[in-house]
Amino acid sequence: MERKKRVFCLLMVLPAILLTLILGLIPMFTSLGWSFLEYDLLRIQEHGTPFVGLENYRTILSDDRFLRSIANTFLMTGLVVAIALVLGLVLAHVMRAEYRGRVIVRVLICTPWFVPPVVAAAIWAWLLNADRSPINSALMDAGLIESNIRFLTDSSTWGPFSIPLLSVTAVRIWNGLPFVVIFLLAGMQSIPRDLYEAVDVDGGNLWSKFRHVTLPLLKPILGVLAMLLLITGIGHFEINYIMTGGGPNGLTDVMSVYSYLQAFSFFRFDLASAAGGMVLLITGVISVIYIRSQLRNEDKS
C-alpha cells in the first residue's frame, strides 16, 4: 500500500519534474557550461567552442557596463522588494476590511496581475513617453509642471537614483504588487480573530494589532515573499528591456538585459552565458542563505 502511494505521488509530480528539467534545468546548466567555453557565433565555424575556463567571467567583470548593471540590478530589486512588501501589507489590509465597494477595490488592486509584463511594459512606455505622455498633459493642464517630465530619458542623477530608474522600478512594482497582496491576504486571513480580540481587551489600537499580532504571524510569509521577489527581481528582464533597453546612458541597465544584448545583438553567447551564470550564482547564494536560516528557525522551534 505504501509503495503504491509512493508511485502515485511520483506520477503526480512527474510532469512538473519533467517540465522543470526540460525547460528549466537543462537549458540552465547548458548555458552555465557555455560560460566556460569560447562560444562566439561568428567564430564558431572556424574555431569551435574551446574551453577557456573563467576567461568569460574575467571579461564581463572588467566591463564597466556589466558592473553598472550589477549595481542597478541590486538597487532596483531592493526597491521593488521593500516597496512591494510595505505597499502589499497596506493593500492587503484594504482588501481585508469590510466596506461598501470592496469588490471593486479588490478587482482594481488585482488588475495589474492580469496584464503580462511585456504588455504592461509597452503600455507604460507609452504612458511615460516624454512627448506623448497623457500623465504629462494632465500635470501640465493642472498647472503643476511647465515642461514635460522625461520619465524614461532624463539622465540627471541623484546618487544612484534617476527618474528613469524610479519609473521602471515603479512599473515593476505595479505589475508584481497583486501577487504580494494576495499572498499576504491569504496569510492574514489565517490569523485567528481571537488574537485581535485579545489586543482589544488589553486596550490596544490598530497599530498594536499590527505590531504584535499581524506582523509576527506574517513573518514566515514575508520571508518567503522577500525571497521570491529577490530571486525573480535579480533575473528580471522584460520590463527593463522593453521600456528603456537599459538606457538612458545605462541608468536602467540590469544583468539580464546585458546578457540578452551580448547574445542577440553581438553574437557572444559565451559572455551572455557568463552574465547568466552570475545571475544564477547570486540567486543561488540568496537561496542558500534563506534555506539555512529557515532550517535554523525550525531547529530552534
Partner 1 sequence: MTQTTNRRFGRRVLMRSSAAIALSLTVLGVPAPQAMAQEIDFWAQDYGDLIAWQRTMKTFADEFKAESGIKVNYEQISWSVAFNRWLTAAQGGAAPDCADMFWLHSFSAIGGDQYGPMPLNEYRDTWPTLEADFYEGSLQDVNWSGDFYGIPWRGDVRPLIYRKDIAEEAGLEGAPQTWDDLVTFAKAMQGYDANGNVTRWGMALGPDTVTQGYVPFFWQAGGDFMTEDGRTATIDTEATRVALSYIRDLVWEHEVLNPDFMERSYSAEGDFPAGTVAMIASAAGPMAPSLSVDYPELDGKWALAIPAAGPEGRDAYAGSGYLGVLRGSDNVEECVQWISFLSRPENMQRLSEASGNVSPMREVMASEFWGDTDWKQVIQETMEYAHTSQHPTPVWNGLLSPEPGAVIYDMMYRAIVQQEDMDVVIADAQARMQSEMDRAFSE
Minimum distance of partner 1 from residue 295's CB (angstroms): 42
What is the distance in angstroms between the CA of the first residue and the CA of the last residue of the chain? 33
Report residue 14 as a C-alpha cell.
512527474
**Nearer to partner 1 among residue 65 and residue 102 (C-beta):** 65
User: How many Å apart are CA 92 and CA 101, to the nearest integer?
Assistant: 15
Minimum distance of partner 1 from residue 75's CB (angstroms): 18
Interacting residue with partner 1 among 91, 95, 120, 243 (CB under 8 A): 243
Q: Is 26 in the site for partner 1 (CB under 8 A)?
A: no
**Nearer to partner 1 among residue 31 and residue 214 (C-beta):** 31
Interacting residue with partner 1 among 45, 104, 141, 201 (CB under 8 A): 45
Contact window for partner 1 (CB under 8 A) among 73-81, 199-207, 239-247, 280-288 = 239-247
Restricting to residues 139-168, name those near partner 1 by CB under 8 A. Answer: 146-148, 150, 152-153
Q: Is 253 in the site for partner 1 (CB under 8 A)?
A: yes
**Residue 267 contacts residue 41 (beta carbons within 8 Å):** yes
Restricting to residues 64-83, name those near partner 1 by CB under 8 A. Answer: 65
Minimum distance of partner 1 from residue 106's CB (angstroms): 33
Interacting residue with partner 1 among 58, 132, 292, 296 (CB under 8 A): 132
Q: Is 172 in the site for partner 1 (CB under 8 A)?
A: no
Q: Is 223 in the site for partner 1 (CB under 8 A)?
A: no
Contact window for partner 1 (CB under 8 A) among 7-15, 20-28, 37-45, 86-94 = 37-45
Restricting to residues 259-288, name those near partner 1 by CB under 8 A. Answer: 261-262, 264-267
Residues of this chain that interact with partner 1 (CB under 8 A) are 40-46, 65, 125, 128-132, 146-148, 150, 152-153, 242-250, 253, 258, 261-262, 264-267
